Amino acid sequence: MSGQMNISSPEEPHSAPTLSAVAKLAGVSSITVSRVVRLPDLVAPETRGRVEAAMRELGYVPNQLAVGLARARTRSIGVLVPTIANSIFADTVQGLSDELEPLGYAVILAQSRYDAAREDYMLSTLLSRRPEAIIMVGSPATEDGARLLKRAGIPVAETWDLPATPIDAVAGFDNFEAGVTVARHLVAQGRNSFAFIGGDDPRATRRWNGFNEAAQALGIKAPRRLVLDRNASGSVVALAELPGVDAVFAANDAHAIGFMAGLRKAGLLRNGPAPEQPVAVIGLGDLEMGRLIAPSLSTIRVNGEAIGRTAAKLILTREGPRHIDLGFELVHRDSG
Amino acid sequence: MSGQMNISSPEEPHSAPTLSAVAKLAGVSSITVSRVVRLPDLVAPETRGRVEAAMRELGYVPNQLAVGLARARTRSIGVLVPTIANSIFADTVQGLSDELEPLGYAVILAQSRYDAAREDYMLSTLLSRRPEAIIMVGSPATEDGARLLKRAGIPVAETWDLPATPIDAVAGFDNFEAGVTVARHLVAQGRNSFAFIGGDDPRATRRWNGFNEAAQALGIKAPRRLVLDRNASGSVVALAELPGVDAVFAANDAHAIGFMAGLRKAGLLRNGPAPEQPVAVIGLGDLEMGRLIAPSLSTIRVNGEAIGRTAAKLILTREGPRHIDLGFELVHRDSG
DNA sequence: ACGCCAAATGACAACGTTAACATTATCAAT
DNA sequence: ATTGATAATGTTAACGTTGTCATTTGGCGT
C-alpha cells in the first residue's frame, strides 16, 4: 500500500496478526484476548464484543505453534502408514481422523513406503512435531524406531497386527490366524495344491506363515509363495508361474482381483459359485469392489475403519484394555 | 548407569530433552548444540563429537514447534481433501507427500467430508498450525473459506478442477470438458438415451453439466441425473430407476463398477467389446480395478498422483506458470 | 613482542502464547 | 466508613528455539 519495502506477495506482506495486534486494536491487553478465545466467561460481555470485533477485522487465527509451546499440548497426532494409496490403510486413516478431528486434533501424516530407513526418518520427523500420540500401521521395522517411540513417552498405537511385544496400545487382528483360516477353508473345499501371492512385508509374511503351516499340518504339500513386486501394476500374475495350483490366497484383495484377471484371460474363471472354479481365490480386506465383480471375491474381511477408530480411542485414554483384537471373518463368495 | 537421579526409565513422564539438557551434559551452551544440528561446520570437531554423543545418549529430537516459532518457517503444509478413503484422492495425497516429505515437510491432513462447515473449520484448524502452504482438492465451498485462505498469505493450490477465479495455484483438469468428451463419445457409438450417476459435489456437477449440455447440443434427449448418496454402499443402482437408458456416465470409477454390478445382476452385461453391451458405461479416474474386471471399464483417465506432485511443485516455487491443466484421456475399453 | 584475524563459543532478546499471580474496580454487609 | 468478596483486567515469566551481536581463544606475520 504505502511504505511497503520488498516483500511483494499476492495480498499483503501481512504476517498473521497476533494476540497483541488484536489487543491493541481492541484497547485491551493480550491476555484478555487470549481469554476471549479460551475462557470467554471471564471477560465482560462488552469487552468481549470489542475483542471479537477486532479479531474478525484482523482475521485473527491463533498460532497453534505458540500454544503448543506454552502449554505442552499440541493437539496433534502423528500417523505413519506404509502408503496411503491403498484402500485399506486409507480407510484406517479416515476412521481415526473422523474420531480425532472433531476433538480438535490435527493429523500429521507420514508414509514409510515399506522402507525401514524412511520409516525411522519419518518417525523422528513426526516426533519433532511433538504429537500427543503416534498411530502406526504395523510395528517399527527397526530397533532404533522402537526405541524412538518408547523414549518419546507418548501413547503409541500399533495397528493391523498383534505384535508379540507391543510398545503400548494395539488395535489389530491376528494375521497368522487369518492364513490358518484360509488354509483350513480351502482344505475343507477339497482343494489340495496351494499358493500364496503378495508382498513380503511383515504382515503379509505372517499371513503366509499361518497359511503355509496350517496347510502342511493338514497334509497339503508345501504351498508355493510368489512375492509380487509392490508396484507390479495390475499384478496380473500368469498362472503359468503356478502350474497345477488349484487354490490361491492373496495377501490382499487388490492382488486377488489382479490374479483373477489373469485367470480370466486364461479361461479359468467361471461365473458360477466356488466349487465350479478351476482355481479358488481368497483375498484379504474385503474391498467393496470384491463384492461387485463376477465371480464375487471370497475374502478375509477386516474392518480398516474400525481399526482406525479403535486406535484413536486407545490413544485418547490410558484406561481400559490396551490390546484390542478386532478379529476378522472369512466371507465365502463365488471365487473360492 | 550409575548417578541417574529422577529420570527413571522407559515409561516415566519424562518430557523430551531440550537443547539445554544436551548442552549441560556436553558441557557447552545450548546455542552450540543448536549449531551442531544446523551448522556443524561452525563447531570444532572435538566439541561436535561430545555434543553428538550427548544427543544420542539423551535421545534428543529437536522441537519443531519452537523452531517454527523462532524462524517463522514450520516446514509443514496443510492438505485438505473431501475424504481420504477414496482411491483417487489418496493417490493425490501420496503424490504430493512423496514430493514433500523428502524435503522435510510434514503433511497435515484434514478431511472435509464434503461438508462446507467442516471444510471451513478444518481450514482454520489447518491455518492455526501455520503451514507454509495449503493444497486442497477443489476450491473453498464458502466465501469465508476463500477469504481465510487469501488472508493467510501463503501459497495455495487448488486441485482436481480448474476454478474460474483461482486463489493462487491450480493443478487440475477440466471437469466440464470431461463430461463433453464422454457425451460425444457415446453419441459417436450410436447411443441415444443417456444418464449420469454420481454425487452432487461441485466437480461431479461440472462433469454433469458438460455431459448434459453436450448431449443436448448433439440432439440427444435430456439425460437423466441420478444423485447417489455418498455412503450408498455398493452404489448398486437398479437399472429400474433408469428405464430405457442405453448409456451411463458415472462420476467416478467406483460408481461405474457398482452400476455394472447392477447391470450384471439384470443380465445386461456382456463379456465382449463395447458395441455388444446393452448399456454402455463410462467411468472417471481409471482405477486399476477397472482394467481388471470383465468387461473392462471404459473411463476418463485422470492421473491423481501427478496432480498431487504438480501441486506440491507449484507451492514450492513462486515462478513459472501457476495454473496447470493436467488434462484427461478417454480410455476406450469393453464397457462402452 | 605486538597487534590482528579467524575460529570457536556464548549471552540475550525475540517468536506468540499461556500459567500463575497481582492489581484494580464494584458493591453488599456490617 | 470500612471490610472483604467477587468480577474484570493486567504483569511477568516461562515454553524451546534461532538471529544478532559479543567475547574468548590461538596462531600468524612482522
What are the tens digits of pLDDT across the range A155-173?
Answer: 999 999 999 999 999 999 9
Report the distance separating Cα A144 and Cα A142, nearest Å.
Answer: 5
What whole-number distance in Å separates Cα of residue A76 and Cα of residue B76? 13
| CB spacing of B264 vs A148 below 8 angstroms | no
Handedness of CA A99, A103, A105, A106 (dihedral sign): positive
The answer to whether the CB of A289 falls within 8 A of the CB of A262 is: no
Angle at B236 between CA B269 and CA B208, to 5 degrees: 90
CA distance linking residue B269 with residue B271, whole number of Å: 7
Q: Which residue has the higher pLDDT, A173 or A46?
A: A173
Query: Which one of A15, A55, A57, A65 would you mutate to disrupt binding with B, by most B Cβ within 10 Å of its Cβ?
Result: A65
3-state secondary structure of B110: strand
Buried b (16+ CB within 10 A) or exposed e, A284-314: bbbbebbbbbbbbbbbbbbbbbbbbbbbbbb
CA–CA dist A76, B129 (Å, integer): 10
Q: B188 beta carbon < 7 A from strand D?
A: no
Radius of gyration of chain A (CA): 26
A229, three cell numbers: 513386486
Verify whether the Cβ–Cβ distance A104 to B111 is below 8 Å.
Answer: no
Amino acid A239: pLDDT = 63
Nucleotides of C under 7 A from a protein CB: 7-12, 14-20
Q: Where are the alpha helices (DSSP H) in chain A?
A: 19-26, 30-38, 45-58, 64-71, 87-100, 116-128, 143-152, 175-188, 202-217, 253-265, 288-292, 304-316
B249 phi and psi, to 5 degrees? Answer: -110, 120
Per-residue confidence (pLDDT) for residue A211, from 0 to 100: 98
Q: Choose the mutation target among B89, B292, B314 for the interface with A, i.e. most A CBs under 10 Å.
A: B292
CA dist B293 → A55, B119, B238, B334 (Å)? 55, 35, 20, 10
Best of B94, B123, B134 to mutate (most A CBs within 10 Å, chain A): B94
A69 beta carbon to strand D: under 7 Å: yes
The predicted structure's pLDDT at residue A318: 86
Compute the average pLDDT of residues A94-113.
Answer: 96
pLDDT tens digit sequence for A108-146: 999 999 999 999 999 999 999 999 999 999 999 999 999
Higher-confidence residue: A231 or B92? Answer: B92
pLDDT digits over A80-89, tens only? 999 999 888 9
- The Cα B324–Cα B170 span in angstroms is 6
3-state secondary structure of A282: strand
Q: pLDDT grade, residue A235 (50/70/90)?
A: low
The 10 Å CB-count burial string (b at 16+, else e) for B156-182 is bbbbbbbbeebbbbbbbbbbbbbbbbb
Domains, chain A, with CATH or none: 19-62 (no CATH), 72-173+305-327 (3.40.50.2300), 175-301 (3.40.50.2300)
Cα separation of the two ends of chain B? 72
Virtual CA dihedral for B45, B50, B52, B53, nearest 10 degrees?
A: 140
Give B-chain residues touching A151 at CB under 8 angstroms: 10, 59
The residue assigned the cell 505442552 is A72
The number of helices, as runs of H, and strands, as runs of E, in chain B is 12, 12
Which residues of chain A are within 8 Å of residue B125 when distances are taken between CB atoms?
Answer: 101, 104, 106
Q: Is the pLDDT of residue A236 over 70?
A: no
Report pLDDT for B229: 76
Q: Do B64 and A152 touch (CB under 8 A)?
A: no
Whether residue A87 and residue B84 make contact (CB cut-off 8 A), yes or no, is: no
State which residue of chain B sits closest to A144, comparing Cα positions.
B59
Dihedral Cα A145, A146, A152, A155, nearest 10 deg: 120
* Least confident among A5-19, A156-170, A211-225, B14-28: A5-19
Chain A hits for B74, Cβ within 8 Å? 65
Q: Which of A161, A178, A334 is nearest to A250 (CA)?
A: A178
Q: Which residues of A touch B63 (CB under 8 A)?
A: 69, 128, 130
**Over 90: is that where the pLDDT of A274 sits?**
no
Q: Which nucleotide in the DNA or RNA is closest to residue A26, CA to C1'?
A: D9
DSSP, collapsed to helix, strand or coil, labels residue B232 as coil
Residue that has been written with the C-alpha cell 496350517 in this structure? A214
Which H/E stretch holds residue A78? Answer: strand A76-81
- What pLDDT does B230 receive? 67
B7 CA → C8 C1’, Å: 32
pLDDT of residue B108: 98
Judge whether residue A35 has pLDDT over 90.
yes
- 5-34 on B, CB < 7 Å from strand C: 28-29, 31-32
Residues A287-335: tens digit of each pLDDT: 988 998 889 999 999 999 999 999 999 999 988 899 999 999 999 999 9
Cβ neighbours for B267, distance < 8 A, ≥ 6 positions apart: none
Flag residues of chain B having pLDDT under 70.
1-14, 230-240
CA→C1' distance for B59 and D9 (Å)? 43
Virtual CA dihedral for B29, B34, B39, B40, nearest 10 degrees?
60
Of B85, B94, B129, the CB nearest to A94: B85
The beta-strand segments (E) located in chain B are 76-81, 106-111, 133-137, 156-159, 169-172, 194-198, 224-227, 247-250, 280-284, 298-301, 323-325, 329-331
The residues facing B198 across adjacent strands are B227
Distance B28 CA to D1 C1' (A): 63
CB contact under 8 A, A254 and B288: yes
Alpha-carbon distances, residue B228 vs A94, B205, B241, B258 (angstroms): 21, 12, 12, 11
pLDDT the model gives residue A233? 44
Q: Of B89, B72, B172, nearest to B132 (Cα)? A: B72
Closest CA to B176 of B213, B121, B128: B213
What was the pLDDT predicted at A2?
36
Measured distance CA(A237)–CA(A257) in Å, rounded: 10
Beta carbons of A292 and B151 less than 8 Å apart: no
DSSP H or E stretch at residue B305: helix B304-316
Task: Assess whether A67 (CB) lies less than 7 A from strand C.
Answer: yes
Identify the residue whose Cα has the smallest distance to the C1' of C10: B29
The angle at the Cα of B212, spanning B211 to B214, to the nearest 5 degrees, equals 70
Identity of the residue in B76, B257, B294 whose CB atom sits nearest the CB atom of A292: B257
φ, ψ at B291 (rounded to 5°)? -75, -25
A129·B101 Cβ contact <8 A: no
**Predicted local distance difference test score (pLDDT) of residue A6:** 34
Enumerate the residues of chain A whose CB falls inside 8 A of the CB of residue B301.
none
Q: What pLDDT does A54 receive? A: 94
For B153, the closest of A14, A79, A305 (CB atoms) is A14
Instruction: Answer yes or no: is A63 CB < 7 A from strand C.
Output: yes
- Cβ pair A86:B90 closer than 8 A: yes
| C-alpha neighbours within 13 Å on the C-beta side of residue A30 | 7
> What is the Cα–Cα distance from A227 to A17, expressed in whole angstroms?
55
